Structure 1
Amino acid sequence: MVTANFTPWNGLPPEARQAGFEQDHQILYVARVAYGGGLHLGKIRADWRAAAIPFGGQEVWVDGAEVWTHRLSDGSGGVWNVPGGSPGDAVVCGHEADGTPLYAARAYHNGGLHLGKWRADWTAAAIPYGGEELWISRFSVLSPGQYIDGDPAFEWQRP
């Protein structure tokens, strides 16, 4: 099973992998935090001290985050794929309090590409945004693989 590498958040580590962005193009990173008995996924920015996760209908801010670094255990940099009704080869990045696997997810909303979580029995991904837990039905999940020319969601960064 392929796993994602996370490192404790103490400011932005050089190996952190950009995975999303705000409407104003501030970069977002996949965050993982222990909360409510589980290990939940959300987002963090270089200028934040805590991570935002979707939980219980709210955007919850949690200290003590970890951030996904640029590699998966298979050596690939990871790609974001649309799940086909099952997790397929999606990378397990966390879990609910009962042990149910959670996957890193990202979805477009309000001009940004926001990070959150998905479970195999959900039809939408949960993202933290504007104080709420939002459910977005068009999303992708972190999977093994390598983009040849970089993540296509970041085309706006190219000259």
Structure 2
Amino acid sequence: MAGEHEWISTNIETDLPPFAVQAGHDSDGDPIFVGRAYHKGDVVVAKVVPNKQQAYVAWGGEEVNKHDIEVLVGHNYHWVPDANGSVPPGAVSCGLTSLGEPLYVGRGYHANSLTPGKIHPSQGCLYIGFGGEEVTLTNYEVLVRN
């Protein structure tokens, strides 16, 4: 449902909006927030790192820099463990692939970071961007609000 969650349009040079949802932390401890961005016809989860004025999406095997993003804001969000492309009731969708498949907000541990990314149910995994690459994780947490 499109109106279920509030996404605020912004860019990486602007301060985060109030009540931005934190997703985790970078390997150096910098906080990471939940965002989304358009890329090649998809709407995908973006990792937003305000201390570095950077945002990235994982797509096509790469971690891609984004300038214009939307940041998820609100309350009563929490993270639930899941795996293999599965998502629980109340999972937060970030948008759709160009083929119309819903993508969901997840996060996973990789290289001392807790990084958000897109859960792609038909591909059975979470994709995160890290170190310039798209990393595949089969165990992850799903962002939910219920």
TM-score range, shorter chain: 0.7 to 0.9
After superposition, what is the alpha-carbon deviation per residue over 1:81-127, rounded to whole angstroms, capped at 9, x for unaligned?
12366323112121101111000110011111001101222322100
Given that 2:20 and 2:73 are in contact with CA atoms closer than 8 Å, whether structure 1 keeps it comes out as yes
Given that 2:83 and 2:138 are in contact with CA atoms closer than 8 Å, whether structure 1 keeps it comes out as no
Distance 1:60 1:117 in 2: 13
After superposition, what is the alpha-carbon deviation per residue over 1:5-47, rounded to whole angstroms, capped at 9, x for unaligned?
2111232122212111012221000110011111111201113
Question: 1:49: how far off?
Answer: 4.1
Given that 1:30 and 1:67 are in contact with CA atoms closer than 8 Å, whether structure 2 keeps it comes out as yes
1:43 correspondence with 2:38:
no
User: Which TM-score applies when normalising by structure 1?
Assistant: 0.80
Which residue matches 2:118? 117
Which residue matches 1:108? 109
**Ranges of 4+ aligned residues in structure 1 off by more than 2 Å:** 1-4, 47-50, 82-88
Q: What pairs up with 1:1-159 in 2 under 5 angstroms?
A: 3-9=4-10, 10-71=14-75, 77-83=76-82, 86-89=86-89, 90-145=91-146
Q: Give the percent of matched residue pairs that are identical in Structure 1 and Structure 2.
A: 31
Given that 1:106 and 1:125 are in contact with CA atoms closer than 8 Å, whether structure 2 keeps it comes out as yes
Q: Secondary structure at the match of 1:98?
A: coil
Distance 2:34 2:61 in 1: 19
After superposition, what is the alpha-carbon deviation per residue over 1:40-99, rounded to whole angstroms, capped at 9, x for unaligned?
11201113444200000000111210111123xxxxx11111236632311212110111
Given that 1:56 and 1:133 are in contact with CA atoms closer than 8 Å, whether structure 2 keeps it comes out as yes
* Unpaired stretches in structure 2, ≥5 consecutive residues: none
The size of the alignment, in residue pairs, is: 140
- Higher strand residue share: 2
- CA RMSD, aligned part only? 1.8
Greater C-alpha Rg: 1
